Structure formats: C-alpha cells, structure tokens
C-alpha cells in the first residue's frame, strides 16, 4: 500500500472517531514508523509500505481511534523544545505547564536560590527543563510517588544529560527532603473527583489527576508541611481553583505574587 493511500484511510478512521488532529496524528505515526520527517512523506506519496509496517501502523491508528493520547502511542512528547520519554505511568507533558518552567527561570535569575524540589515530578519534564535551561548551580531534586514514573524520569535525565536527582516520596506521608527546599515546583493532582475528564485523560493514571472533592487536597498537605526554608512555591491548578488555593497558601504563611494562566506563584510572607 502506498503512503498516500494509507494516510487517507487512517485520517478518515480518526475523523470518524472525532479525533480533531486526525491528519497530524496519522502523519506523525507514519513518520515515526518510517524514521522520516513529515516533509518526506509529502515528497514521497507513492512510497510502498511493507506489510510489517502496515500491521503496526494499523494497530496504532486503532489505539488513537480509542482516544489514547498519541504521546503514549509514540512513547514520546515534546516539552520546552526537548523530546521526553513518556508512558501510561506518567501524565502527558502539556504546553500549559511550560509556563511553570518560565516562571521558575525568572526566579532563579532574580534570587540566589540554592535548592529546588519538583514535587510530583512524573516524567521529570519540569525539573529537567529548568536545570538544562538555567544551567543553575542550585540543587534540583524531583520527588514522585510512582516507581514506574520515577523510572521514566531517570531515563529522561540520562537521555537529555541532566543532573537532576529523583527520589521516591509520598508527600502525604513524609516531609523527607522536599519540604526544606527554597523553591517548590508543584504540579500535583488537582482535578476534582466528580469532574468529567475528556476521553484522552481516561487513559492517564488516576492517581496523577484527581485531588479530592475540590481538587486541592494535595495542596493542603503540601502547604501544611512546608518548612521555614521555603521561600517560593509555584503551583498548577485550574483557574476556578485559584482563589481556593490562595486561601490555603495564605493560611500557611504564603502570599500570592503572580498568576499566569494555570500557574500561581506564592512567596513567603
């Protein structure tokens, strides 16, 4: 089968499953399989696909038709200009979260921060991006409850040449290490339990998504356990949750300083 024929069939299958990025997704999967870029596909519409390639590609299109995130199918996702390994053990890195890295970079430029904790580090995309972009001498450590996610983060650190350390830790059970860092980066589960998530999110790990009735249970635990050494906290949550998160922060000695989309910056009072 020629590439143009397969692409036409694949795009139609994805469109019939209400995948809004059908053309892009089909091209990405095909380019990955052939180890080419998308421009090559357009220049070689009559390239003949091997039977073994067709079998794998058709399986991938079926998975995508079931709204499995394409990052899981490809095993990778771009974040802050770098390609990160991902798996169903981690959340898919999202463009909105890049704002946290940008705000953290500004803090590192303005303040002599010596220690950073990435709490709920997942794939490690936040802490690794921060370390590589800033080339800071500050100690950066990622803390994650899932051993499977930790393995992915360690692979990403090695792949990208990052010096970020990663530790297994449950912030609801221990203050070990993370609570004494000067800067806390927190992308914790914040979706309310009864919130209807989209089809793609149903393929992601529940423990990394839901944060209790109002979605802020983990942030309550976080702010309650911060030591006197913590100077700044960057936290991600939904805009309707921002006022609730601000109240939690203020009751624990932190004031809101800046809000940018999903990200809020809090400083010690």
pLDDT digit string (tens) for 132-142? Answer: 999 888 999 99
Dihedral over Cα of 262, 263, 264, 268: its sign: positive
What gap in Å lies between CA 147 and CA 11, rounded to an integer?
36
pLDDT confidence band for 253 (50 / 70 / 90): very high
Alpha carbon 157 to chain centroid, angstroms = 14
Same domain, 149 and 94: yes
Q: Are residues 119 and 238 in the same domain?
A: yes
pLDDT band for 23, please (50, 70, 90 cuts). very high
Q: Are residues 137 and 236 in the same domain?
A: yes
Confidence of residue 197 (pLDDT cuts 50, 70, 90): low
What integer pLDDT is reported at residue 263 of this predicted model?
97
| pTM for the whole structure | 0.89
Same domain, yes or no: 238 and 160: yes
Instruction: List the alpha helices (DSSP H) in the chain.
Output: 3-16, 22-34, 38-43, 51-65, 70-74, 98-110, 125-134, 147-160, 217-224, 242-250
Predicted local distance difference test score (pLDDT) of residue 173 = 77
Per the structure, the complete domain to which residue 40 belongs is given by 3-66
Task: Give the rounded distance of the alpha carbon of 118 from its chain centre.
Answer: 12
Distances (CA, A) of 241 to 84, 169, 245: 29, 25, 6
Question: Could you tell me the pLDDT band of residue 143, with boundaries at 50, 70 and 90?
Answer: very high
| Among 193, 237, 243, CA closest to 214 | 193
């Amino acid at each position: 089968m020629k590439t143009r024929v397969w692409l036409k069939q694949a795009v139609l299958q994805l469109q019939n499953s209400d995948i809004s990025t059908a053309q892009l997704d089909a091209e990405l999967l095909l380019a990955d399989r052939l180890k080419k870029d998308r421009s090559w596909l357009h220049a070689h519409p009559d390239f003949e696909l091997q039977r073994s390639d067709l079998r794998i590609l058709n399986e991938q299109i079926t998975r995508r038709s079931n709204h499995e995130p394409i990052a899981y199918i490809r095993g990778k996702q771009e974040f802050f200009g770098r390609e990160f390994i991902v798996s169903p053990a981690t959340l898919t890195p999202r463009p909105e979260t890049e704002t946290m890295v940008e705000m953290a970079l500004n803090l590192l430029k303005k303040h002599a921060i010596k220690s950073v904790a990435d709490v709920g580090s997942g794939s490690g995309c936040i802490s690794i991006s921060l370390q590589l972009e800033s080339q800071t001498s500050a100690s950066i450590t990622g803390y994650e409850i899932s051993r499977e996610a930790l393995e992915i983060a360690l692979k990403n650190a090695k792949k990208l040449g990052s010096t970020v350390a990663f530790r297994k830790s449950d912030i609801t059970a221990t203050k070990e290490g993370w609570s004494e860092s000067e800067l806390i980066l927190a992308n914790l589960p914040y979706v309310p339990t009864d919130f209807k998530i989209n089809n793609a999110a149903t393929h992601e790990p529940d423990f990394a998504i839901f944060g209790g009735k109002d979605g802020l249970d983990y942030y309550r635990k976080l702010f309650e356990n911060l030591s006197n050494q913590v100077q700044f906290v960057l936290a991600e949550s939904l805009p309707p949750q921002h006022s609730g998160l601000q109240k939690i922060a203020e009751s624990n000695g932190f004031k809101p300083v800046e809000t940018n989309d999903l990200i809020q910056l809090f400083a010690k009072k």
